[in-house]
């Protein structure tokens, strides 16, 4: 999957708003111990909250293009489940070696984040990756490919904007739902996103939180990541099935928005719950 940097939306999974949304909800459920330890790491670079680092790994992709494949996994759209030899591979567009997809990188950085023998700045970098990649594995078009670079090559018009299917799932649906718009250099109104995140967090039930997490998130993170990816991948084919025959026409967006937003909403909620559980387990 190759992201087209010429299309702003497709450069950021869930967009800065979506990643901040996940981070804000997760931070609200940190234990006092985890909160204190994470705050100490964030303070190394003058930050105070997880939403401030949630899109850092997207920001470095221009200077560190080899990290690009770490954000996704290329499971064929109609394949049932993830298969590492087939789906987590060397991307010829980047100078990488070995398996480099999100299914490998998320557990790797989760263990580094929790490793107290590493230097604090190394753990902070790992924390940045974990906060972001947990969001990425819950974006359906980050877990599939249909010979179109994960929907990046499927160009369409969404509410009058020339974009692509991947960007619609990254940003288009979320921004239309909340009437949000990115500022210069992908800046966001953090208070507006935070306020909406806290409102959404209150809607997540206790039963959902129990269902979406395991009792040993860190110890099981490799297994859990595969499970999360497979669950997200199951949603990907519907993203294509709900498209009209002619995606360059107008008038279909409301129907698509009505289908896509509930899916995205639950994925954002799920990611936040799982991120909180993983951070609480790593920073006990």
> What is the CATH classification number for the domain harbouring 58?
1.10.575.10
Does residue 69 belong to any structural domain of this protein? yes
> What mean pLDDT do residues 78-107 have?
80
Domain, as residue range, for 123 = 8-282
Predicted confidence (pLDDT) at residue 67 exceeds the cutoff of 50: yes
What pLDDT was estimated at residue 73?
96
Residue 74 has pLDDT above 80, yes or no: yes
HSE, side-chain direction, 13 A CA sphere, residue 94: 23
Each residue of 195-232: pLDDT tens digit? Answer: 999 999 999 999 999 999 987 789 999 999 999 999 99
How many CB atoms are located within 10 Å of the residue 242 CB? 14
Taking 70 as the threshold, does the pLDDT of residue 3 lie above it? no
What residues have CB less than 8 Å from 236, skipping those under 6 apart?
A: 75, 77, 140, 141, 143, 144
- Percent of the chain whose predicted confidence (pLDDT) is above 70: 92
Which tokens is 82 given? 């993830």
pLDDT at 181 over 80: yes
User: Residue 266 CB: number of other CB atoms within 10 A?
Assistant: 15
pLDDT at 14: 80
Spatial contact of 165 and 239, defined as CB atoms under 8 Å apart: yes
Judge whether 14 lies within some domain: yes
The model carries a pTM of 0.92
User: Between the CA atoms of 127, 38, 186 and 28, what dihedral angle is there, to the nearest 10 degrees?
Assistant: 120
3 within a domain of the structure (yes/no): no
Q: Does residue 82 lie within any of the structural domains?
A: yes
Per-residue confidence (pLDDT) for residue 191, from 0 to 100: 93
In the chain, the number of structural domains is 1
pLDDT at 172 over 80: yes
Contact partners, residue 251, CB within 8 Å, separation at least 6: none
| Residue pair 111/221 in contact by the 8 Å Cβ criterion | yes
124-145 pLDDT, tens per residue?
999 999 999 999 999 999 999 9
Say if residue 187's pLDDT is above 90: no
- For residue 60, pLDDT over 50 is answered with yes
pLDDT in tens, 16-55: 899 999 999 999 999 999 999 999 999 999 999 999 999 9
- Give me the pLDDT at residue 92, please: 54
260 domain-assigned: yes
Q: How far apart are CA 105 and CA 95, in angstroms?
A: 16
**Does the residue 1 lie in any domain?**
no
**Whether residue 12 has pLDDT greater than 70:** no
* pLDDT for residue 52: 96
Q: Residue 2: inside a domain, yes or no?
A: no
């Amino acid at each position: 999957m190759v992201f087209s940097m010429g299309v702003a939306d497709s450069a950021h999974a869930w967009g800065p708003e979506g990643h901040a949304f996940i981070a804000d909800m997760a931070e609200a459920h940190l234990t006092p111990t985890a909160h204190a330890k994470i705050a100490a790491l964030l303070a190394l670079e003058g930050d105070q909250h997880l939403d401030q680092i949630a899109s850092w790994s997207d920001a470095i992709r221009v200077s560190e293009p080899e990290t690009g494949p770490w954000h996704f996994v290329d499971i064929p759209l109609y394949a049932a489940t993830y298969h590492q030899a087939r789906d987590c591979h060397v991307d010829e567009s980047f100078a990488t070696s070995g398996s480099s997809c999100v299914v490998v990188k998320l557990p790797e950085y989760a263990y580094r984040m929790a490793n107290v023998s590493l230097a604090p700045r190394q753990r902070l970098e790992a924390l940045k990756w974990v906060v972001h990649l947990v969001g990425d594995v819950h974006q359906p078009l980050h877990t599939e490919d249909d010979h179109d670079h994960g929907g990046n090559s499927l160009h369409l018009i969404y509410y009058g904007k020339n974009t692509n299917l991947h960007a619609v799932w990254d940003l288009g649906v979320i921004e239309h739902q909340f009437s949000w718009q990115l500022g210069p250099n992908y800046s966001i109104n953090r208070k507006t996103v935070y306020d909406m995140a806290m409102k959404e967090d209150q809607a997540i039930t206790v039963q959902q939180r129990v269902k979406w997490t395991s009792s040993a998130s860190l110890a099981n993170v490799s297994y859990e990541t595969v499970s999360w990816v497979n669950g997200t991948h199951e949603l990907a084919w519907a993203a294509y099935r709900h498209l009209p025959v002619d995606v360059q026409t107008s008038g279909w967006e409301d129907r698509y928005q009505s289908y896509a937003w509930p899916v995205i909403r639950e994925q954002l909620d799920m990611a936040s719950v799982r991120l909180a559980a993983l951070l609480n387990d790593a920073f006990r």
